[in-house]
Amino acid sequence: MPGDKAFQVEGRVMEALANGTYRVELANGHRLTAFVAGRAKRNFAGLKSGDNVKLQLSPYDLSAGRILIETKTAKT
């Protein structure tokens, strides 16, 4: 993904898939497949369904994204 054209959005993990990929739902209801890449992979102890994450998406392919960080979840 080109860094200059990529944009960031927030979403919620719906389910964990094989090989470190996750199904994520955005606020507008769009679902996509996301993966943890790079240095962030060492810092993640594992994501569970319901965790909020920040994603980087490419404008060329909105069906896949890269998880950048886990954001704090609000207690309900």
- CATH number, domain at 65? 2.40.50.140
pLDDT-based confidence at residue 1 (cuts at 50, 70, 90): very low
Which pLDDT score is estimated for 2?
Answer: 47
Q: Residue 61 falls within a domain, yes or no? A: yes
Domain count across the chain: 1
Per-residue pLDDT tens over the stretch 12-32: 999 999 888 999 999 999 999
Q: Note the pLDDT tens digit of each residue in 42-71.
A: 766 678 899 999 999 999 999 999 998 877
Does 34 reside within a domain? yes
Name the nearest CA neighbour of 13 among 63, 67, 57, 62. 67
Does the CA dihedral 76-8-24-34 come out positive or negative? negative
Range of the domain at 47: 7-70
pTM of structure: 0.79
Asked if the structure places residue 38 within a domain, the reply is yes
3-state SS of 6-55?
CEEEEEEEEEECHHHEEEEEECCCCEEEEEECCCHHHHCCCCCCCCEEEE
Q: CA 11, CA 67: separation in Å to the nearest integer? A: 10
Q: Is residue 26 included in any domain, yes or no?
A: yes
Would you say residue 41 lies in a domain?
A: yes
